[in-house]
Amino acid sequence: MGIGLATLRLDGFASVQASHIGGTFTTVPYEMAGSHLQVNVSCPYGQLTAELQDDAFKPLPGYGVEQCRGVRTDSVAAELSWPEAPPLDQIGKPVRIRFQLNNARLYSFRAV
C-alpha cells in the first residue's frame, strides 16, 4: 500500500496550447462582467495577446490584437489590457475573445 499526493495548477487540468509557430482560439460571445481580463497562462518563452470581436468576427475599435498589451509570463492571474480603450465593462454587449498564442498555454480566462 502506498500514499501519494498529486497537485494541479489552479484551473490547470486542461489548456489550449500553441507552439512557436503560433495559433488562435476564439470564444463564443461572452458578456464582460468586469473591467479587466485576467488569464491563467503559461508562456515564459512565448506570448499571449487577444482582441475583442463583434458578432461578425470584426475587431472592436481600440480592442485589436495590435493594441493589446500581451503577457509573457507564467501566472494564474495575468492581465491583458488595451491601454487606449475604455474599461471592458463599458462595452455593453457580448463579445468574442480571439486569443493569439505563440509558444503558450491558456488554461482559463475571466473578467474581473
pLDDT tens-digit series, residues 38-93: 999 999 999 999 999 999 999 999 999 999 999 999 999 999 999 999 999 999 99
In a domain, 102, yes or no: yes
Q: Which residues contact 84 (CB under 8 A, 6 or more apart)?
A: 62, 67
Query: Considering its fold, how many domains does the chain have in total?
Result: 1
The answer to the question of residue 10 being in a domain is: no
Residue ranges making up the domain that contains 68? 16-111
* Domain contains 96: yes
Mean model confidence pLDDT for the chain: 93
Residue with cell 473591467: 35
Residue 14 has what pLDDT? 87
CA atoms within 13 A on the CB side of 70: 21
In a domain, 4, yes or no: no
